[in-house]
Amino acid sequence: MKKPLVVIVVLIGLAVIAVGVMRARSAKATEAIASGALRGANVLLITIDTLRADHVGAYGGARGLTPTIDRLAAEGLRFETTYAHVPLTLPSHASLLTGAYPFVNGVRDNGSFRFDGRHPTLGSTLKAAGYRTGAFVAAFVLDARFGLNAGFDVYDDKYGSRPAGGGLSVLERPADRVLDAAVSWITRDGDSAGGNRPWFAWAHLYDPHEPYDPPAPFHTRYASDPYSGEIAFADAQLGAALDRLARQGYLTRTLVVVAADHGESLGDHQERTHGLFAYQATLRVPLVVWAPPAVKPGVFKGVARLVDVMPTVLDLIGIPASAPSGRSLRPLVGGDLPADDRGSYFEALNANLTRNWAPLAGLVAGGFKLIDLPIPELYDLRADPAEHFNLYGRRQEVAKPIEQQLDSIRSGGKPVAATQVDRDTVQRLRSLGYVVAPAARPARSFTARDDPKTLVALSNRLDEALDALKGGRPAVAERILKELIAARPDFTIAHDRLALLYHETSRIEMAIATLESASRDGVTDAASLATLGGYLQEAGNFERSAEVLQAALKLNPSEMEAYEKLGITYTRMGRYAEAHRMFDHMLSIAPNSATTYNNLGSLYLTERRYADAVQSLTRAVAIDPALARAHNGLGVAYARQGQMDQAIVEWRKAVELRPDLADARYNLEQAKK
């Protein structure tokens, strides 16, 4: 695989000359590519989270933030207009990897949905074709527990563990660490299964997602615009990684695809970040395909969609595959097919699922965007790309056919709820004193007062409350959250955050009371029941904790946190066999969950199975060396087996990592005596 340096220098020289020639041509049109033109090529998929298209130089960004992407775009094929289908990380990546719309692949929001493997993915298809496959993700939102590990030999989701009770902490790792892991996997020599198989690597860079806090020197260089600083940092890291791969000859026959999962509103339409609305700031994403010389430089002017990425890549590689919602763009790029407009579906359901606001869905078709809400919207994207003039009332002859097209696209879809709540579950929740609506209300039963446009100010107030809480001003946060609950009593997430606030300020009984009363009033979902079950456990009310967590799992079997918490509650109740079942289930779905190995280790310690405890806790610290609690537990396991020297080493590490970890300090002091 590794080529002598001299050859590479010559190749790079040729590539530069070729680019000069082709750039002149690319202004005219895109050139045809044969299906299978890249047969056997490696595939490198880079997704940059929250990268707004107009911040990329190749898309008109003026600040020079993205020299790497701009170079790939100049040497490759740039898709001028590409749409995401959900302005949120997990569902957007799910639609990219499966070629299926969210209502088809079943992943419609972060956190409470899990891809169940019902469709082949880009990874599973390439794996079946003999590729080795590796994914390197930067943040918890794409943890293996949410199912996007389907089809990957290696799914590296090692970004560290959430501190116990650290409800608002963001679990992420920076681009350099993600790319280091990806590059070392790509460049490892051969593999046991048979020499130089082609590879598919997916690297997910989370840096531009809030909180915006780029490392030096980007921190100071972009002090007034840290979002741009994060983009510049991620792009620079991508450039360095590609250089390393190119120097070692790994890019000579590699298809590189760069995309974003969604953009960032930055205040457009009063939206601060993303996820509430589906305006161009968050829905339009960059998409670049680079594979010289097979893919000639050019700009594709038609509409591309993230569901088209999977079938397009497979078509270029020469693997026949159809996608549930997407189609290969290759024939369109070459002009073999007229650029027919199938429309691009989108939805944003988070506010519906977590706040009981009206669900947002829509379609981009024929240069117009229709947004189906209680206050419907229609924009002429060519004349009004900033979407300031709602034409819905005046242009019914345009709106109605798009509405019909939207209805026919959606007709195959399932209802919005995470899972259908069955009679048994409703009964069980009633027996706990909770009220749960048997199913989500249909979109058109909402009114203008439930429209997210009407409620965006409340959304921003919620952000303010969370900022206040993170900034150490809990009294301010508490006042805002109570105000929000008074304004919208069914604002599920506001109840949840108020409970979190009480929890973080050591008022556990108030945290429990807040969620219990919200649940009795019917303002509950599986996520808030899982939170409540955790608080009840901390308060020592194990019976009720187990009941509530079981109810959460009945309500949504994909509420993964509930398995982990239930395992701990069962451990504390002495129900060891059931605890093992919970942790085993977690680890079968999230094999890199260091906290689960830690909890399993604690279970073994409770059972006095010290050798098993050592094994499990060693796994925990191998995955996350910074997990202080696991080092402490490991020390206990060693001590119980009489290995005091090793015990002291582990307790020292625990105290070093977490000087506030009282158990470890105590253990260390006792050992010294």
Binding residues (CB under 5 A) for Zn ion: these are 49, 89, 261
Tokens 């929000």: give the residue: 484
**Which is closer to Zn ion, CB of 306 or CB of 527?**
306
CA distance 525 to 34: 50
- Residue 127 parent element (H or E): helix 122-128
What is the β-pairing status of strands 377-380 and 368-372?
Answer: antiparallel
Residues 18/24/27/33 CA torsion (nearest 10 deg): -30
**Which is closer to Zn ion, CB of 56 or CB of 314?**
56
**Which is closer to Zn ion, CB of 89 or CB of 265?**
89
CA distance 621 to 6: 43
Distance in Å, CB of 157 to Zn ion, minimum: 15
Distance in Å, CB of 442 to Zn ion, minimum: 28
User: Any residues with CB less than 8 A from the CB of 475 and at least 6 apart, and which?
Assistant: none
Give 370's strand partners.
363, 378
**Which is closer to Zn ion, CB of 142 or CB of 477?**
142
CA distance 285 to 94: 15
CA distance 654 to 641: 19
**Which is closer to Zn ion, CB of 360 or CB of 468?**
360
Tokens 């959304």: give the residue: 459
Distance in Å, CB of 121 to Zn ion, minimum: 18
Nearest of 308, 193, 322 to residue 257 by alpha carbon: 308
557-to-112, 245, 529 alpha-carbon distances in Å: 9, 41, 12
Distance in Å, CB of 469 to Zn ion, minimum: 22
User: Any residues with CB less than 8 A from the CB of 308 and at least 6 apart, and which?
Assistant: 99, 323, 326, 327, 328, 329
**Which is closer to Zn ion, CB of 288 or CB of 402?**
288
Distance in Å, CB of 283 to Zn ion, minimum: 12
CA distance 331 to 580: 52
First to last CA, the chain: 58
Residue nearest to Zn ion (CB): 89
Query: What DSSP state is assigned to residue 599?
Result: H
Distance in Å, CB of 503 to Zn ion, minimum: 27
**Which is closer to Zn ion, CB of 261 or CB of 315?**
261
**Which is closer to Zn ion, CB of 208 or CB of 362?**
208
- Residue 378 parent element (H or E): strand 377-380
CA distance 267 to 280: 12
**Which is closer to Zn ion, CB of 350 or CB of 592?**
350
Torsional sign, CA 65, 66, 67, 70: negative
**Which is closer to Zn ion, CB of 82 or CB of 89?**
89
- Label residues 620-647 b or e (16+ Cβ within 10 Å = b): bbebbeebbbbbbbbbbbbbeeebeebb
Distance in Å, CB of 239 to Zn ion, minimum: 21
